[in-house]
Amino acid sequence: MKLTAKGRATRQRIIEGAAQHLRSEDASGVTLDDIRAITGTSKGQIFHYFPDGKEELFLEVAKYEADRVLEDQQPHLGALTSWPAWERWRDSVVARYRAQGRSCPLGTLLGQVVTTPGAAEVVTVMTEQWQAHVRAGIAAMQAAGLVRPELDGSRVAGAFIAGIQGGVQMLRSTGDTWHLEAALDTLIEHLKR
């Protein structure tokens, strides 16, 4: 669907309004009428921008939340070129998830659209981008002679992604960032040795 600049802005306003609402509400109970009321849009507008209805809107909100996961780590994640930069990134990841606590807007949303085409891709695309940033950071550190050249950067970047995902999962069940911090600190320590 081709949209005018104004159309794109309206569509984005609906997505962001829905995202904000879904962060504080149980996603399974939220209806399109709730979203309409909150974003001050008509039924016609919602279906104009999201012809497939709730599932399509929720998937777009999930994509928006996935983008935020990465944005919340910037500018650190995109410039892992010194040890202080790695520590700032580490702190930004821990702070982000500590603030989120046991809740996980992205996970909850994806649970609602699990059978929607494209839902599985949201996480895959996000983790691929995330991992590529970490991989680029390791390569930059190797180019600067700060990380040993024989280290397999791709594999260690994969370990970071696994460690963060698992740390966040542990946070969701324990309410504590301890595992997330243990994973990040151990892997940064591994880069340094």
CB 36, min distance to a copy of itself, A:
30
Binding-residue total with a copy of itself (CB under 8 A): 31
Give the footprint of a copy of itself on residues 139-168 (CB under 8 A): 155-156, 158-159, 161-168
Q: CB–CB of 68/15 below 8 Å?
A: no
87-101 burial: b if 16+ Cβ within 10 Å, else e: ebbbebbbeebeebe
CB 32, min distance to a copy of itself, A:
25
Distance of CA 37 to the CA centre of its chain: 27
Q: Does 129 engage in binding with a copy of itself (CB under 8 A)?
A: no
Q: Does 174 engage in binding with a copy of itself (CB under 8 A)?
A: yes
**Residues contacting 23, CB < 8 A, separation 6+:** 103, 105
Identified binder of a copy of itself from the candidate list 38, 79, 123, 139, rule CB under 8 A: 123
Nearer Cβ to a copy of itself (18/110): 110
Q: CB–CB of 102/171 below 8 Å?
A: yes
Among the candidate windows 24-32, 82-90, 133-141, 170-178, which touches a copy of itself by CB under 8 A? Answer: 170-178
- Is the alpha carbon torsion for 11, 17, 18, 23 positive or negative? positive
Work out the burial of residue 29: count CB atoms within 10 Å of its CB; fewer than 13 is exposed, 13-18 middle, 19 or more buried. Answer: exposed
Among the candidate windows 20-28, 34-42, 67-75, 177-185, which touches a copy of itself by CB under 8 A? Answer: 177-185
Q: Which positions lie near a copy of itself, rule CB under 8 A?
A: 120, 123-124, 127, 155-156, 158-159, 161-170, 173-174, 178-180, 182-183, 185-187, 189-190, 193
